[in-house]
Structure 1
Amino acid sequence: MLMKSECLHVLLSAGLAATLCSTTITPANAQEPIFDEARFGVLASVDNGHHEDGVFATGMIFFDPWGHDAAQGIDKLLRPRIHLGGSLSTAGETSQVYAGFSWTADLTDRLFLEVGVGGAVHDGDLDYDGGSGPALGCRLLFHEYAAAGFRLTDNWRLTAQIEHSSHAELCNGPNDGLSRAGVMLGYKF
């Protein structure tokens, strides 16, 4: 709990002074939002070999438990943000959920670059079964993304993002992977 006191000093007649104080108690975490940022957008397949139809409604939320945004220099590398996200196919292709770590580097006050790595779980085809989509070999995949962003205001940002999911030849079966790119609109709390 945090306590905040405000006092008012009053000068009474005959040179006497009185002090009136009020105290407000607020929870210690009242100013700390649960989420650091939320992003929503659309991505499309950019894979030439096994192109996926439709677009992918995509969302990500970010947490900053180690103070990545406040860190400077090498500390920024040691304090990544945590991301949790997913993409939903609008055309019956592969949907996925993913989580991992993200690092942001400011180029200017408004421009930034970002990279993230982690893992994903998907509902796509594992083997070639006559479908047109990619064969992914196993349910668990690595998930990486890179983004370039622009801060529209202190809270709103626009990012161009490219992402890739595959198993990096660590399980048996095909490894066509998922490659997608698009734009996302984010709100920083």
Structure 2
Amino acid sequence: MIILFSILNLAVILLFRTILIIIFGLATYQICLTTFKQSISKENKVSILDKYSSVIPYWLPLLEGSMNFGMRVISQYPKQILLLYNKYILPLLEIYIAYPMLAFVVFFLLYYLFIRLDRPIQTSSFVRFNIFQAILLFLINSVLGASYKSLPIEFRSSFVGLAMTNILFLFTLSTIFYSVVKSIEGKYPQIPIISEAVKMQISDIN
């Protein structure tokens, strides 16, 4: 029974590693392809500034998802990903964890400055769309994280619990990478349900 459990656990870990490598590979390929196309394109509807400004807010759900799920399973991922995580995400994550109110301050500032109708900062609908989508992803990760932490520790430490953690972390990574790639392309990321909710609030989307 113990041997079977170990084999299943190893199989799940290998599966998640493979999926993550594929996601990273596709994201890297898409970014490189998009950059090349943009370099030879004469017409671009979304400015470079808007594209890369739209990427920044996605740090918020990334840190929230990393805190809730990533820290528990990141050691199982390939060494290269672990090195990137430790170099770029972990330092910010330590600050994020040390000051838990910081996330909500950033959340309210983003909403106040960019989303509400009488916002003080006027920016393009493309940037506002991505900011609002990042906010929704942050809220979803917060709710999922709180729900997950309310489960018994025995369940969270079990095979099923670790598998669930991996799935939730992959959900966080995949939605953020997809959104970042689409933002760099100058296209609106289309995440089912979430993007539709954003469009209902951002009325000036073409």
Query: Scaled by the length of structure 2, what TM-score is found?
Result: 0.20
Instruction: Judging by fraction of residues, say which structure has more strand.
Output: 1
TM-score w.r.t. the length of structure 1 is 0.21
Query: More helix by proportion, 1 or 2?
Result: 2
